[in-house]
Amino acid sequence: ALRLGLVALARTNVFKIVDRVMDGFVERTGQTVQISAFGPMGPTIVRLFNGRPALLTTLNVGAVLPLSTSATGRVFLAFIPGSETADLVNAERDHVSMDSSSLDEIRAAVRADGKAVETGTVIPGLHATAYPILDLQGRATLVATALVSEAVQGSRQEAIAELGTLCGHISADMGWLV
């Protein structure tokens, strides 16, 4: 039974699940969501689900986000091994003054909250809340980030919280047990 379960998990396509769930979520709530994967250059946007009203930003599919100053990057920092992020963190230190203890604090806070929140650090006026989509080992395979203009941020809190719940359900589908 264990072998059969592991084979089924290995064949699960997280993108198919994410596409289905996020299409429904965005249709229902009007909330803009970006999905990012951790690539060789860092957190990379791989899907963009435009909500209503549409947000016009430079954050499109293929854009690479900073690790230490974006909500998306901070979730990856917290939920993938430090050995996989070390080179990128060191490269960012040339542009952002952040020591190891600051990074440890970020990781701990994101793990405790289950999300990362940033306002205006990547694009002024843009509020981002990012949630991990975890595999069976608790590693972030993807990150879902709700993007909201600061002007309407307060009216979107319920939808943003629902996104976190949906990411938990997708993580469970991928084998993560809370």
Residue 100 inside a domain? The answer is yes
| CB burial readout 138-161, b (16+ within 10 A) else e | ebbbbbbbbbbeeeebeebeebbe
DSSP string, 37-71: EEETTEEEEEEEE--SSPP--S--TT-B--TTTSH
Tell whether omega for the bond before 124 is within 30 degrees of 0, i.e. cis: no
From first to last of its 178 residues, the chain has per-residue pLDDT tens of 444 444 444 556 898 999 999 999 999 998 999 999 999 999 999 999 998 877 777 778 889 999 988 999 999 999 999 889 888 887 777 666 666 678 888 899 999 999 999 877 777 778 899 999 999 899 999 999 999 887 655 567 888 899 999 999 999 988 888 6
Task: Classify residue 144: in a domain, yes or no.
Answer: yes
Tokens of 22: 């996020």
pTM greater than the 0.85 cutoff? yes
Q: Does residue 5 form part of some domain?
A: no
For residues 51-87, b (16+ Cβ closer than 10 Å) or e, as one string? beeebebebeeeebbbbbbbbbbbbbbbbbeeeebee
> Domain for residue 61, yes or no?
yes
Flag whether 127 is in a domain. Answer: yes
Q: With the C-alpha atoms ordered 96, 109, 80, 133, is the resulting torsion angle positive or negative?
A: negative
Within a 10 A sphere around the Cβ of 122, how many other Cβ atoms? 20
What CATH number does the domain containing 83 carry? 3.30.450.40
Domain boundaries, position 94: 14-173
User: For residue 141, is it within any domain?
Assistant: yes
Residue with tokens 């941020």: 153
Q: Does residue 168 fall inside a structural domain?
A: yes
Does any domain span residue 9?
no
Domain count across the chain = 1
Beta strands in 4-151 (DSSP E): 32-39, 42-49, 116-119, 126-134, 140-149
Residue 11 and residue 152 in contact, taking contact as beta carbons nearer than 8 Å: no
- The first and second tokens of residue 56, run together, are 């016009």
